[in-house]
């Protein structure tokens, strides 16, 4: 069974304090790994796609990396506006039709 | 503007009263999907559709129905809602295919309460 876990469940950082979020997965036939940001009361917003071990993607203060069993979302010098829930998901299935999401990490960045 | 729309955004209903949540996208995407989001469980896929008239079950399909008669619309139907279907529902769409770079666009969500 395809599974995605995320840690920590919640994270509080001071503004400027860098950290990393973890996403561990077990999936047969990984098609891609996705990171999303979700603000309260809104739908998830796409951040990154990774599909091969060793791949890295960057966007402003965020950097996502991928290994064969996990992915990390590194947040460098975060700002209060980075506060959100970060979701990890894997795409699987013969036609890439299935998406399995992790429970998310709720990030709070304090000024 | 490229978007996925859902209606209604909020719905309170009673057990057993049939309801439909509509979903529409304007991006000509073949693939559409419904998810429910519950605290601690994350997003779970209910049904998906690879194209018109092609639908299939996701991880939690019990108690739900879908139809895909037009490319842009993918309604979620609860024939006899029960309290355990109280949840936040999201519709999403993307281009069809295994290419992982195809971004999945999400709607704003529908918060459903079944009493």
pLDDT at B24: 98
Contact assignment for B103 to A49 by CB distance below 8 Å: yes
Coil vs helix vs strand at A100: strand
Rg (CA), chain B: 13
Low pLDDT (below 70) residues in chain A: none
Cβ–Cβ under 8 Å, residues A71 and A88: yes
pLDDT digits (tens, 9 = 90+) for A7-18: 999 999 999 999
**Position B98 confidence tier, pLDDT thresholds 50, 70, 90:** low
Query: Which of A99, A101, A104, A105 to substitute to test the interface with B, most B CBs within 10 Å?
Result: A99
Cis amide bond preceding A46, omega within 30: no
pLDDT at A31: 81
Task: Put residue A61 in one of left, alpha, beta given phi > 0 → left and psi -120 to 50 → alpha.
Answer: alpha
β-strands A10-14, A105-110: how paired? parallel
Cβ–Cβ under 8 Å, residues B21 and B113: no
DSSP letters spanning A21-74: EEEEEE-SS--EEEEEEE-TTS--EEEEEE-STT-EEEETTEEEEE-SSEEEEE
Rounded distance between C-alpha atoms, residue A49 and residue A40, angstroms: 22
Rounded distance between C-alpha atoms, residue A3 and residue A102, angstroms: 8
A10-to-A6, A7, A103, B17, B87 alpha-carbon distances in Å? 10, 8, 11, 37, 21
Taking CA–CA distances from A88, the nearest residue in chain B reads: B42
Beta carbons within 10 angstroms of residue B73's beta carbon: 15
Rounded distance between C-alpha atoms, residue A56 and residue B45, angstroms: 27
Query: Which one, of B28, B22, B30, lies nearest residue B67 by Cα?
Result: B22
pLDDT at A10: 97
Contact assignment for A101 to B44 by CB distance below 8 Å: yes
pLDDT digits (tens, 9 = 90+) for B7-43: 999 999 999 999 999 999 999 999 999 999 998 888 9
Residues of A in contact with B4 (CB under 8 A): 43
pLDDT at B97: 59
Residues β-bridged to residue A38: A85
Say which residues have a Cβ less than 8 Å from residue A20's Cβ, sequence separation at least 6.
A72, A73, A74, A75
Contact assignment for B58 to A98 by CB distance below 8 Å: yes
Six token digits for residue B13: 């209903």
Coil vs helix vs strand at B20: strand
């Amino acid at each position: 069974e395809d599974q995605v876990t995320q840690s920590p469940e919640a994270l509080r950082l001071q503004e400027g304090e860098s950290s990393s979020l973890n996403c561990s997965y077990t999936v047969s036939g990984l098609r891609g790994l996705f990171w999303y940001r979700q603000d309260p009361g809104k739908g998830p917003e796409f951040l990154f796609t990774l599909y091969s071990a060793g791949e890295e993607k960057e966007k402003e203060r965020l950097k996502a990396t991928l290994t064969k069993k996990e992915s990390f979302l590194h947040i460098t010098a975060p700002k209060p506006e980075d506060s959100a829930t970060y979701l990890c998901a894997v795409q699987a299935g013969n036609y890439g039709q299935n998406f399995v999401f992790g429970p998310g990490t709720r990030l709070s960045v304090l000024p | 503007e490229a978007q996925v729309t859902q209606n209604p955004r909020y719905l309170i209903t009673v057990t057993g009263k049939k309801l439909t949540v509509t979903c529409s996208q304007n991006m000509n995407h073949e693939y559409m999907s419904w998810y429910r989001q519950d605290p601690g469980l994350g997003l779970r896929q209910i049904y998906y559709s690879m194209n018109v008239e092609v639908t299939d079950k996701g991880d939690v399909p019990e108690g739900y129905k879908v139809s895909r008669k037009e490319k842009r619309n993918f309604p979620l139907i609860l024939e006899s809602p029960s309290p355990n279907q109280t949840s936040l529902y999201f519709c999403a769409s993307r281009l069809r295919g295994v290419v992982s770079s195809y971004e999945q666009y999400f709607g704003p969500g529908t918060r459903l309460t079944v009493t």
